[in-house]
Chain A
Amino acid sequence: DTGVSQDPRHKITKRGQNVTFRCDPISEHNRLYWYRQTLGQGPEFLTYFQNEAQLEKSRLLSDRFSAERPKGSFSTLEIQRTEQGDSAMYLCASSSDRVAYSGANVLTFGAGSRLTVL
Chain B
Amino acid sequence: AQKVTQAQTEISVVEKEDVTLDCVYETRDTTYYLFWYKQPPSGELVFLIRRNSFDEQNEISGRYSWNFQKSTSSFNFTITASQVVDSAVYFCALSERNAGNNRKLIWGLGTSLAVNP
Known A42-B91, A42-B93, A42-B109: A112·B44 in contact at CB below 8 Å = yes
**One of B42, B44, B47, B107 near A106 (C-beta < 8 A):** B47
Query: By the criterion CB–CB under 8 Å, are B103 and A42 in contact?
Result: no
Closest to A95 in B: B102
Query: Which bracket fits the contact residues of B?
Result: 20 to 34
Say yes or no: is A40 at the interface (Cβ < 8 Å to chain B): yes
When C-beta atoms are compared, the residue in chain B nearest to A33 turns out to be B103
- Name which residue of chain B comes closest to A97, CB basis: B100
CA distance A89 to B42 in the complex (A): 12
CB distance from A2 to the nearest CB of B (A): 12
Q: Does A110 contact B (CB under 8 A)?
A: yes
Do A43 and B100 touch (CB < 8 A)?
A: no
A109 touches B45 (CB 8 A): yes
A3 to chain B, nearest CB (A): 8
Q: How far is the CA of A51 from the CA of B99 in the complex (A)?
A: 18
Q: What residues of chain B have their CB less than 8 Å away from a CB belonging to chain A?
A: 4, 33, 35, 37, 42-47, 50, 91, 93, 99-105, 107-110
* Among all A-B residue pairs, the 8 with the closest Cβ atoms: A42-B107, A109-B45, A111-B44, A48-B103, A105-B102, A112-B43, A106-B47, A111-B43
